Amino acid sequence: MASKTGLGSCSLWGLTPALNLLTFLDDKTLIDAGNDEKGIHILLFGQCDCRHIFKTLEEHLNFRTRKIKINIFIVENNIELYARQLLFLSLASLPLEKIGLYEKTRQYVELFGNTSIRPRTQHSLVKLARRLVKMITDEDYLEKKMPFVNLSELKFVERDALVEICKYWIEFCDMRKENLTEKWDKRLRYHLGSRYDSRAGVFDWDYHMRLKDLGIDIISSVEYKNWRGKGMAFTDYDSEYSQPNVTLCSGASLTSNWKNVCYLGEIVTGPFIAYGIECDDKNFFEKSNDRNKFSAGDVTVHNLEKIFSTFGSIGTGSGENPEDGGRGDAGMNRHGQNLSDIFSVSFLPTEAAAHLHLKSHFLNKFHLMYFSSTMAQHLTPEITQVCAKDAIVIVESVRHLLELRQEHITAYNDKVQELAELAGLQKIPEGHEISHVDYLSYTMSPQSGPISDEIGRNNIVLLHHTKGQQTILQGHRNEIVSLSKHKENKYFASGDIGPRSTVIIWDILAGIPDKVLSLRSCHGSSGVASIDFAGNSPYIGLLGAERSSKQVISIWPYVSHRPVEPMCQYNIPSTLGYQHEIVFHPEKNNLFATTGNRGVAFYSWKLTEKKICSNVPKLSKSFSSRMKKFTRSIWSPENSFLLTATMGGFIIVWDVSNPSDVKESFDSDRNAVEIKRCYKIGINGLTSFTEHNGIYYIGDVTGVVHFYDMTFRLIGWTKHQKFLPVYFVAVNEIDSTGALRIFDQNSAGERLGAPKDQTILSRDFPLKLSNCDPTQESTFNRSPFECPDLFLGVADGTVYHYRGREERLNTVVHGANSIFVACDVNPVSNHLALITLKGEIHLYDVKTHIVVYRRSLFKKQTRLSSLKFHPTGSFAFIGSLDGRMFCRRGFDFKPTGSTFDNSHSSIDKIVFSEDGILMAFQDSSRAIGLYVNNPGKSLFAWTFKGKRRLHCKEVVDIMFCWDRARNSSRLFSLGADRRIIEYRIHFSSFNDVLEVLTITRVEQYAIPRTMTTINCCERRKLHICIATNNYEISIYDPDNQNIMRICRAPLHESPTNKMVNIRTDDGRDFTIFASGNKLGLAEEPFDGIPYKYMALLSHPTGIIRRSFLSRSSGTRTSDGTGQASLA
């Protein structure tokens, strides 16, 4: 029962800190939204309160630099939460002329988390409730008072429920009937049970042994115990709290007599987490005598005062009574801006999660989706159809639920990860710049980062570009996030992120590991965020990926034959923020720097003393706001300057000429490193920064790479169509032309044949950016630039070879806009087709090993799920997540004009009969459908014969079997309910209902995983081979409906989950099987003898699809990691 647990059944406040949701979106998305009148769309599932809305709008309204409109849509599972959020929005919108800032804040915190409130707060509650009744029933009045609120999507019954709740607040406040203290005590008694008499000890244990273990010591024991015992979280010692806070009661909308209204909220953690544990002003976390000077209540009041000061100028009409009809300055902020043009809040029906993807105006709409822990079950493949391209999905963690143990939290995270993978999402690692310790973040596309050619994201491919050869290097168990090459091309290093992480030093020529560094003792279970070799010295620097604790820098030797331990370590101060890159000086091996979103830090290390010293330049707020995010840093080859690229389009030059000024510990009062210069080189964010032979190569978010000389004079750029952001630029060092030849060494830097009248403007900004307008302009002579060959890596994982002299772009490694979900081989050609979740087709030639082409199949983004070629190879059927099937030509995948819409769930699998006349499909709703071809008309004319749902659990496999004895096809489906069903496909009527021949239970305890046919010489009979999850294979006779024999299946790390039967040219029968990440071959007949099968590791992350090409006796498979591989 919900009331038996501390969480309750109605989440009245969030148990995670308030977020600025815009920080999860990249600059490209914000730029596109600024150019679009519709703006940013955010969908919140179960935010419980308005904390994320307030936090986002407060920072957006105060610091917004673009005209971006924020459209927020809210879905809750309880109508009372809609009423409370409307109340909070109405209270926040009251102008400061009618209610002071401090009084507004006090009233908000009382209504937010106290069981008892002051009489003055109750008086305001009644007025606001009456005004809400009029707003809900009168849309014109709502448009006057809160034009940024939209209730049009709500059902009428839900609006009536909101009115009933507001009337309950008014009536019981006026009559003073409700006694919420008794309801709180009753809820507490039921929760604690026999421990109620010793509740003081229970509260003390929960505070010291659970709450403080989370590192939340800002919540004082006095306020925590006061809230646990009485429900009073925010109190003032000189105030009288005598009136009940009826907004905390649940059940008012269910009955008219309101006798069964009770408190069903959370009673263990408290409302302090939302606003009370994080603050921009670090003075609130100061301690005296090991005790905090301030409490969580003080931090909450401070944060809310900042928020409400932003909303302070929003009018509610003229006159003292907020019910007046005058418009006044409604909807205008203090700058005279119409807030309805800046943001909007729309409330969706409580059941919207189930059918939101069925409404066309919501498809591909939302740039960000948020799920609370109580509504994470709605993270399904269907709901992701409303996500825009490259959308971010955030799921709330449960680390602040004090009743949960670590194994429960781990199980919750694993379940969310499973739901995300089924929905086609990819997890953003903890060390990423947009990750948060209290939230699980996912993206609809592969995350950008250091580009490498990876298979399964934990293996490396050494690609010999000119010869077309590749070598796969395996050794990491986690996702690889960083690569670094030695200056002399002897070694390269790879590091991963996650538990039991390692850094491997590879021999770059032999492709074998030379040294493995185990990071458990130094970096724990976090792994590394960046690695770099310390010049020519035998040491390597590692930057840890610790997010919840302080980041660690460690220096390791890598040529010793003894067990390797770090030479020295250094804990980066938390005030610097998260650092994502480490770069060593190429000549001075003891000097290096780290780069983070908020700035750069410099370090020197001494081998004799085994310690690291640091210094951080002091940056003003105006300077940091102009720079935005710091992205990449490199060392100048000519002097001790560090060059840093930013998302504001700037290049910062840091003077580190005196490394002796770097101190032993972080000293914020001393600035040993100075900013030498600052160049404004573009309006777009800079994402990559590389130097080669005196030329700087800088890539931006639009996909263009610009070339600059050593003084940052523009000398050229890549001339190709703009594409995704460039995150990696490498110069082809074998290129014989080289960039150095553009300079004449005998003319003191003058260009050969440079006309004196060719000039170009360059912008050189002084250091004080606040006074940099108007900008200084200078001219310089420009001559033709001969660009060397470049390798460019972009955000989707694609690597291009840019031929500078020919201005031609060739694809070296093909990426994808999302994960691959299906593949199939054309039976009459050498082409393997792979489709992505977002509707992109990749056609691969299995003989030449090149990608013939890749393109999007649809103008509007359509999420796909399955693919199957017709036996003739002339066309293919493609299934989507919304239940539609599309018929495309087999060679160019152009539409045939046929679209089949007989299902409303995701099409999981499509199969054809051997003669190509019948086609069947299975969907995620456990239904099996059948189509019949009309050969008299055309190959593209198919008639729907019927559909049937008989399995009570998921369908694990379907197939057509050719019965040689009957000389006809037979259709079978196998389900996790341990039943195999045969359907009537001949001599049946077209009545939209698929008829059934037999239903047989084939297992008692084991769960079937897959099935295939096996060849049996005995009277040409048909037999079906069924693999189960207990490593067994059953041979099923469909004519007699019994199991003929059971034998042991191939034993590997996981049970067999896919099988296909093949016959070689010499008449031998084999079965190809997939077992987790292994692909194997078994000789028939199955008898459990181990030497008759073998398997190899083909896909580290598991095989999700397989296809068989009989002419070459091989298989083609793809994995589901977003970087697909073929075997």
* pLDDT of the residue at 336: 47
Higher-confidence residue: 292 or 1089? 292
Percent of the chain at pLDDT exceeding 70? 80
Question: What is the spatial order of strands in the sheet that 714-717 belongs to?
Answer: 686-692, 695-700, 705-708, 714-717
Nearest to 11 by CA among 545, 371, 255, 346: 371
Residue 755 lies in a domain: yes
- Calculate the alpha carbon distances from 348 to 250, 353, 441 in Å: 20, 9, 23
Please indicate, yes or no, whether residues 290 and 263 belong to a single structural domain of this protein: yes
Residue 633 lies in a domain: no
* pLDDT of the residue at 646: 92
Q: What is the DSSP string of 403-449?
A: T--HHHHHHHHHHHHHHHHHTT-EEPPTTSTT-BTTEEEEESSPPP-
Assess whether pLDDT exceeds 80 at residue 797.
no
For residue 1105, the cross-strand partners are: 1118
As a whole number of angstroms, the distance between CA 1092 and CA 1086 comes to 9
Other beta carbons within 10 Å of 620: 11
Residues in the chain: 1127
What domain range includes position 259?
A: 2-363
Beta carbons of 681 and 645 less than 8 angstroms apart:
no
Task: Using the Cα atoms of residue 121, residue 122, residue 124 and residue 129 in order, give the sign of their dihedral.
Answer: positive
Q: Among the ranges 105-109, 564-568, 634-638, 698-702, which has the highest mean pLDDT value?
A: 105-109
**Confidence label for 254 from pLDDT (cuts 50, 70 and 90):** low
Q: Which residue has the tokens 């018929």?
A: 887
Beta carbons of 887 and 940 less than 8 angstroms apart:
yes
pLDDT tens readout for residues 298-327: 999 999 998 888 776 544 333 344 444 444
Please state the rounded mean pLDDT for residues 826-832. Answer: 85
Per-position b or e across 490-508, b if 16+ CB within 10 A of its CB? ebbbbbbbbeebbbbbbee
Ranking 48-57, 61-70, 279-288, 421-430 by mean pLDDT, the lowest is 61-70
* pLDDT of the residue at 4: 52
Please indicate, yes or no, whether residues 209 and 194 belong to a single structural domain of this protein: yes
Question: What is the spatial order of strands in the sheet that 918-923 belongs to?
Answer: 907-912, 918-923, 927-933, 942-949, 992-993
* pLDDT of the residue at 426: 77
Percent of the chain at pLDDT exceeding 90? 18
Residue 561 lies in a domain: no
Q: Which residue has the tokens 């924020």?
A: 70
The token duo for 202 is 């229970």
Please indicate, yes or no, whether residues 724 and 803 belong to a single structural domain of this protein: yes
* pLDDT of the residue at 196: 87
Task: Using the Cα atoms of residue 891, residue 897, residue 902 and residue 904 in order, give the sign of their dihedral.
Answer: positive
Please indicate, yes or no, whether residues 995 and 1025 belong to a single structural domain of this protein: yes
* pLDDT of the residue at 1098: 64
As a whole number of angstroms, the distance between CA 59 and CA 336 comes to 17
**Confidence label for 1105 from pLDDT (cuts 50, 70 and 90):** low
Residue type, 43: L
Please indicate, yes or no, whether residues 160 and 141 belong to a single structural domain of this protein: yes
Residue 537 lies in a domain: no
Higher-confidence residue: 1020 or 496? 496
Higher-confidence residue: 235 or 795? 235
Please indicate, yes or no, whether residues 169 and 107 belong to a single structural domain of this protein: yes
Beta carbons of 1097 and 458 less than 8 angstroms apart:
no
* pLDDT of the residue at 896: 84
- Calculate the alpha carbon distances from 127 to 124, 133, 1107, 1119 in Å: 5, 10, 67, 59
Ranking 251-265, 534-548, 935-949 by mean pLDDT, the lowest is 251-265
Please state the rounded mean pLDDT for residues 160-168. Answer: 90
As a whole number of angstroms, the distance between CA 899 and CA 887 comes to 6
Please indicate, yes or no, whether residues 306 and 269 belong to a single structural domain of this protein: yes
Residue 677 lies in a domain: no
Task: Using the Cα atoms of residue 515, residue 516, residue 519 and residue 520 in order, give the sign of their dihedral.
Answer: negative
For residue 841, the cross-strand partners are: 835, 855
Assess whether pLDDT exceeds 70 at residue 329.
no
E strands within 722-849? 726-731, 759-765, 776-781, 790-794, 799-803, 808-813, 820-825, 831-836, 840-845
pLDDT tens readout for residues 1043-1070: 988 888 888 767 888 888 887 777 788 8
Other beta carbons within 10 Å of 729: 24
Please state the rounded mean pLDDT for residues 480-505. Answer: 86
Phi, psi angles (nearest 5°) of residue 257:
-90, -15
* pLDDT of the residue at 704: 87
Beta carbons of 860 and 882 less than 8 angstroms apart:
no
Higher-confidence residue: 364 or 720? 364
**Confidence label for 778 from pLDDT (cuts 50, 70 and 90):** very low
Please indicate, yes or no, whether residues 993 and 1055 belong to a single structural domain of this protein: yes
Assess whether pLDDT exceeds 80 at residue 31.
no
Other beta carbons within 10 Å of 319: 12
Assess whether pLDDT exceeds 70 at residue 591.
yes
Higher-confidence residue: 494 or 802? 494
Q: Tell me if the bond preceding 1085 is cis, omega within 30° of 0.
A: yes
As a whole number of angstroms, the distance between CA 1023 and CA 1031 comes to 19
Assess whether pLDDT exceeds 80 at residue 161.
yes
Please indicate, yes or no, whether residues 1060 and 917 belong to a single structural domain of this protein: yes
Assess whether pLDDT exceeds 90 at residue 82.
yes
* pLDDT of the residue at 83: 93
Please state the rounded mean pLDDT for residues 1013-1021. Answer: 68
As a whole number of angstroms, the distance between CA 394 and CA 442 comes to 6
Residue 134 lies in a domain: yes
* pLDDT of the residue at 446: 42
As a whole number of angstroms, the distance between CA 74 and CA 68 comes to 19
Higher-confidence residue: 113 or 1086? 113
As a whole number of angstroms, the distance between CA 1023 and CA 428 comes to 46
* pLDDT of the residue at 364: 81
* pLDDT of the residue at 988: 58
Structurally, the chain folds into a number of domains equal to: 4
Q: Which of 886, 915, 939 is the last residue of a domain?
A: 886
Higher-confidence residue: 314 or 572? 572
Assess whether pLDDT exceeds 90 at residue 878.
yes
Residue 564 lies in a domain: no
Give the β-pairing of 149-150 and 343-347.
Answer: parallel
Please indicate, yes or no, whether residues 762 and 863 belong to a single structural domain of this protein: no
Please indicate, yes or no, whether residues 799 and 860 belong to a single structural domain of this protein: no
Assess whether pLDDT exceeds 90 at residue 803.
no
**Confidence label for 210 from pLDDT (cuts 50, 70 and 90):** confident
Phi, psi angles (nearest 5°) of residue 364:
55, 40
Assess whether pLDDT exceeds 80 at residue 701.
yes
Assess whether pLDDT exceeds 90 at residue 489.
no
Q: Which residue has the tokens 């006694």?
A: 179
Please state the rounded mean pLDDT for residues 788-814. Answer: 77
When the pLDDT of each residue in the chain is averaged and rounded to a whole number, the result is 79
Angle at the Cα of 737 from the Cα atoms of 733 and 740, rounded to 5 degrees:
80
Assess whether pLDDT exceeds 50 at residue 760.
no
* pLDDT of the residue at 1104: 56
Residue 191 lies in a domain: yes
The token duo for 537 is 């010295």
Alpha carbon of residue 1104 to chain centroid: 21
Beta carbons of 103 and 378 less than 8 angstroms apart:
no
Please indicate, yes or no, whether residues 1114 and 988 belong to a single structural domain of this protein: yes
* pLDDT of the residue at 1001: 93
Q: Which of 751, 782, 813 is the last residue of a domain?
A: 813
Other beta carbons within 10 Å of 399: 19
Q: Which of 796, 813, 830 is the last residue of a domain?
A: 813
Q: Which residue has the tokens 């800046």?
A: 342
* pLDDT of the residue at 970: 92
Please state the rounded mean pLDDT for residues 464-487. Answer: 78
